[in-house]
Structure 1
Amino acid sequence: MPFPSLPVAMTDLWVFGYGSLIWQPGFAFEERRKARLAGYHRALCIRSYVHRGTPERPGLVFGLDRGGSCIGMAFRVTPEAGEAVLAYLRERELVTNVYREQHLPVVLADGRRVRAVTFVADRGHPQYAGRLDPAEAATIVGGAHGRSGANVDYVRSSFAEIAALGLTDRWLEAVVARL
């Protein structure tokens, strides 16, 4: 008589937020910790055609771009909720496939190292805006509105949460000052 197959070990899912996920994750979580991701930095480098703009008048949203490091928030999700959270995140973040889903190592503020789902900017995608001048970025943000609301609200809310983490981003400060 064959042995019954053993269930696959389930583990908690970690999600790394660096923009609107910091202040509006949109899913239930068990734990929220400040975290650092090495090898990528937060940048307002994605032209938004859906959530904060339209194809005719794109907005700008954050992406993880190559180089440096990024401090954000890591959210721990229970194994039971993991599949539903991933489905939600994929619907939210991969709407135009400008991000690539990756599982990358992050270091939590308490020193723990975990692998977290992240959404990294695809530099080869037509919506990748690259590095813009603060005045140009502010002009784009100031005139854009999408399914999730005004681009200005997104940038200001993200900036406030980034500042609340104790982080300084002079380029982003210059953009916000122009809004």
Structure 2
Amino acid sequence: MLPSGLAKEIPLDYRLRTPEELDTSLGQALAAAPQDTARSGSWLFVYGSMLKDPPFSPEEQRHAVLEGWERVFCLADPKMRGTPKHPGLSLGLVQGPRCVGVAYRLSARTMREDLKGVWQREMALPFYAACWLQARTRPGPIPVLTFCTDLHGPLYEPSLSEPAMLERLATCAGENGSNAAYLEQTVQQLAEVGIPDPGLAQLALRVRAMR
């Protein structure tokens, strides 16, 4: 494994969102929905850590495709898979060719409580902006709520070089474990739900070789 000292210190200026800010953010996201979620519920599109064990019980789930978007390691993670001095990397959703993920249908009855747990897990760090997009599924198109990278946020790293990305994935670790394990778990989960990502799988092989 590479010595952790090889990872450069990267000062970050950020703070965790407060419970009040999370609640406000969730309310704003639901208010922006293209349909009456209080009656119909909503679909949540996931593309990373919630692929297999989401913190809720969905009514239905489907493979879904977002055209014009892709998942990439573009977010500095100073907490879950890194530290403030040696931030790891988390997946974000940015404009690109396409992103295949899973859409979960949340019932109107439990939707807000379900999403509250998701918000606490995914939105505490200033990684994302909640957004509504159109996803393609086999039965037909559906509007989905998902987490787009906050392009104006303090943790977005649009110009990260490939060597720097590989180094941080191979060496960084935080409260939830190593960045390498996060990458491996994501690759495995994508394969297990039937939507393997060859690009991430190749990245995992390169990180494994570095370690």
TM-score normalised by structure 1 residue count: 0.84
Does 2:59 correspond to 1:30? yes
Report the CA distance between 1:141 and its aligned residue.
1.7
> 1:169 maps to what in 2?
198
Match of 2:118 among 65, 69, 89: 89
Q: C-alpha offsets along residues 50-93 of structure 1, whole Å, 9 cap, x if unaligned?
A: 22222122111111011221100001111111001221122111
Pick from 59, 64, 83 the counterpart of residue 93 of structure 2.
64
Matched residue, 2:102: 73
Structure (1 or 2) with the greater helix fraction: 2
Question: Could you state the TM-score of these two structures normalised by the residue count of structure 2?
Answer: 0.73
Pairwise mapping of residues 13-28 of structure 1 onto structure 2 (< 5 A)? 13-28=42-57
Counterpart code for 1:137? M
Whether contact under 8 Å (1:30, 1:77) holds in the other structure is yes
- Give the corresponding residue for 2:73: 44
Q: C-alpha separation between the residues in 2 aligned to 1:166 and 1:99?
A: 23
Answering whether residue 183 of structure 2 is matched by residue 155 of structure 1, we say yes
1:125 equivalent to 2:149? Answer no
Paired residues, what number?
170
Which residues of structure 2 form unaligned runs of 5+? 1-36
Equivalent residue number for residue 55 of structure 1 = 84
**Superposition RMSD on alpha carbons, in Å?**
2.0
Q: Which amino acid aligns with 1:13?
A: S
Pairwise CA distance, 1:20: 0.9
1:111-135 deviations in Å (ceiling 9; x for gaps): 3222111000112222112364444
Distance in 1 (alpha carbons) for counterparts of 2:53 and 2:92: 16
| Sequence identity percentage | 28
Unaligned segments of structure 1, at least 5 residues: 1-7
Distance, in Å, in 2 between the alignment partners of 1:86 and 1:25 is: 10
Mapped contact 2:52–2:189 kept (Cα < 8 A): yes
**1:134-153 matches, cutoff 5 A:** 134-153=162-181
- Matched residues in 2 for 1:86 and 1:57: separation? 30
* 3-state SS in 1 of match to 2:117: helix
The DSSP-based 3-state class of the residue aligned with 1:102 is strand
- CA 1:134–1:80 in structure 2 vs 1: closer, same or farther (change >3 Å)? same
- Give 2:146's aligned amino acid: T
